[in-house]
Structure 1
C-alpha cells in the first residue's frame, strides 16, 4: 500500500486504518460463510448478530443508559430534520430550536414545513461564530422539544455543555461530534447522527432515543417515517444498510481499543490543540473566526489575509498530500476536520506545514 493521504475531509471522512484493514480481510468471506456480509440476508443469524452487537456496543460505550433504544436508519441527518417534527410536533405544541449555523438552519426550515416553530436562541448576531449562552435559551411552555446542533462543521463551533431542558425532550444532531467525548445520554430524549464522520461510512444514520418517546408515532404519517415502525422491528422493517452497520460495529470496537470515550477525548483535544496553538501563535498570519469559548475540536476553521493566499495554501498543501482543507463553499476560508479517526501524526504534519507556509509567505 502506498502512503496514506493526510485526510481532513469534512464527511465522508477518515476511517481508522485498522478498521479498513480488518474489513478488507473479511470482505470476501465473512466469518466462514463463503459470502461477504453485503451478500447475505439481513434476516439471517450472522447479520443479525452483527446488527445486535453494534446496538449493544454503542449503548455500552455510553454507559448503558436505561430505557434507550438504538435505531439504524437511512436518509442521513437530513431526513431526521423532517422525521423529528413529523413524529413529535403535535397539535398545540411548538418546535423549539437553537440556531447556531448552517445545519441548525436546515433543521429549522424542515420543521417550519410541519408546524409552529420557535427560535429559543441564536448566534446569528455574531455570524454564527459562537454557541449561545445556555442561560439565554428561552423554551416555550408548550414546546414539543428543544433541538440543538452539537457541532457546526461549517462555522467550527461546538457546545461545551448542554442545556438543561427539564421535562422538555432535548434532541441533538450530533452528526459531527458523536462519540468524540463522554456525555450524559440521560440529558437527551433523542440523539441522531449520520455515520460518515465519527461512526463509519455513509449510508446509515444512528438514532439513540428514549423508548417511551418513540413508542407511539402518529398514525397519519407514512409508515417508514414513524420511529415506532423501526423501534418495533429492531431497525429491520426494511433492508438495512448492512455493510455500513457492520462497519459501525468495527469502528465502535476500535473506539473501545482507544480507551473508550475518555481516551478518545484526550486524543481529540491534543490534536486540536496542536492546530489552534499554531493559529494563535502565528502573530495574526492565521486567524480563527470562531470565538475561543465555542471552538470546535472536530472542525478547526481558520483564515489567511486574502483569498489568493488561501488558494495558494490549498495548492501547496495538496502537493504535500493534504486533502480536504478547503473551507465550505458557503463561507470560504480553510478548515481541518479532525474527527476521531484522524491520527495525531496527520495533525502534527498539518501544524508543521502551516508553520512552513508562514515562513515562506509571511
Structure 2
C-alpha cells in the first residue's frame, strides 16, 4: 500500500478515482469521454453549474457570491488581485506568515503601492503575528492573508481574528474545505485545486459580487474577474476535466459529512503525527510553534541532514511517498490533506516512533 503525503498534486479520494475510471470512456451515455466533450455542451455546463452550487452550499454562501473556475494557479492570482482591485493612488495591505504570502506580497509590489501590515519573517515563519498588529488602515484597498503556509506548516485558526472592515482576500490553496470557517468574512478566497479539491489545472475563486463590480474595467478582458463571472467561467475553454473532478470531490466531501466531518478527520490525523514529534524527546523538532501548527502540513527536522536522508529513504521503502520538505527549506513535510486517510497518518506516526527508537 502507498501512503501519499505529497504536497500537491496530492492524494485524491479513492472513491472519486474509481468513479472517474468508470465514467471516463463514456460520460453518462453520451458516447464520449469528458476529455473530448465540448465545454459548450449541456452536459458540461451542468457539471460547471453543479460545482458552483455545491461549493457555495458547503460554505453556506448565497447569491452575493460567485464561484469562478480559472487557470494559472494561485501564482496567477497573486498578480490578478492587485491588477483588479488596487486602484491608482490606493494601497493594498498584506500579512505575511510564510513563503507563499511572501510571493503574493512581492508580486503585488510590481503592480502598485503595497504595505506590509505584519510579517513573521524575523522568526523564520514559525508562528503568527500579534493580532493587534494585523488591523489594516481603514482606507486600504484590501487586506491579503495566506490561511495555511504549506512550506513552513503554519496555519491561521479557523475562527480567525477580526481584521477590520476592508475587503479580506485569502490564499486558501492548502486548507480550503478542510474545516468550517466564517466564509462570509471574505471578499475573495482562492485555491489551487491540487491539494484538497481535485487535480492540478484549475484554480477555484470565490468572490463577492460587490468586489466584482468595483474592479478595474480597463484591463485586458481575460484578466478581469468580471469576465469570468459574466460568462460563468466559460469565456474561453476552461480546464474541463479538472472542473469535472472538482465536482466529484465536492460530492465526496458532502457525502463524508461536509466540512465538520473534514475538520474532525483532519484534526485526528494531525494529532497522531504531532504526538510522535512531541514524544520523541527532541529527536524530531517541529518547525511551527504549537499555537500555529498546521493541520494540513506537518513540518519537522531530525537531528542531522544525514538522518533526514535516512528517514526519507526508509519511509519510501515502507510505502510512504512525498515526505521531503520543500526544496527551499529542506527537512520533512507530511501533507495531510482531506483525502489522506487516517490509516496513512497512523502508519506514519508508527514509522516515526520506530525510527526514533532505532536511531535516537
Fold conserved (TM > 0.5)?
yes
1:181 corresponds to which of 179, 182, 195:
179
- 1:277 aligns to what? 275
Q: Alpha-carbon deviation of 1:96?
A: 0.3
Q: TM-score, normalised by structure 2?
A: 0.98
SS in 2 for 1:178: coil
Counterpart check, 1:35 vs 2:3? no
Q: Alpha-carbon deviation of 1:224?
A: 0.7
Is contact 2:61–2:183 with CA below 8 Å preserved after alignment?
A: no
SS in 2 for 1:142: coil
- 1:298 aligns to what? 296
- 2:68 aligns to what? 71
Q: Alpha-carbon deviation of 1:66?
A: 4.3
Q: Alpha-carbon deviation of 1:124?
A: 1.2
- 1:15 aligns to what? 12
RMSD of the alignment, in Å? 1.0
Whole-angstrom CA distance in 1 between matches of 2:27 and 2:131 = 48
The 10-residue stretch of structure 1 (267-276 or 351-360) with the greater mean CA deviation from structure 2: 351-360
Structure 2: 5+ residue stretches without partners: none
Is contact 1:216–1:228 with CA below 8 Å preserved after alignment?
A: no
- 2:351 aligns to what? 353
Change (3 A) 1:77 1:35: same
Aligned counterparts, 1:18-167, within 5 A: 18-160=15-157, 161-167=159-165
Is contact 2:135–2:164 with CA below 8 Å preserved after alignment?
A: no
Is contact 1:134–1:162 with CA below 8 Å preserved after alignment?
A: no
- 1:321 aligns to what? 319
1:236 corresponds to which of 231, 234, 237:
234
Whole-angstrom CA distance in 1 between matches of 2:56 and 2:358 = 49
SS in 2 for 1:212: helix
Whole-angstrom CA distance in 1 between matches of 2:161 and 2:290 = 19
What number of residue pairs does the alignment pair up?
359
Is contact 1:215–1:231 with CA below 8 Å preserved after alignment?
A: no
Q: Alpha-carbon deviation of 1:301?
A: 0.5
Whole-angstrom CA distance in 2 between matches of 1:123 and 1:152 = 12
2:310 corresponds to which of 309, 312, 315:
312
Is contact 1:92–1:142 with CA below 8 Å preserved after alignment?
A: no
The runs of 4+ residues in structure 1 deviating greater than 6 Å are: none
Is contact 1:121–1:138 with CA below 8 Å preserved after alignment?
A: no
Whole-angstrom CA distance in 1 between matches of 2:213 and 2:237 = 21
- 2:204 aligns to what? 206
Structure 1: 5+ residue stretches without partners: none
Whole-angstrom CA distance in 2 between matches of 1:135 and 1:24 = 51
Q: TM-score, normalised by structure 1?
A: 0.97
Is contact 2:58–2:259 with CA below 8 Å preserved after alignment?
A: yes
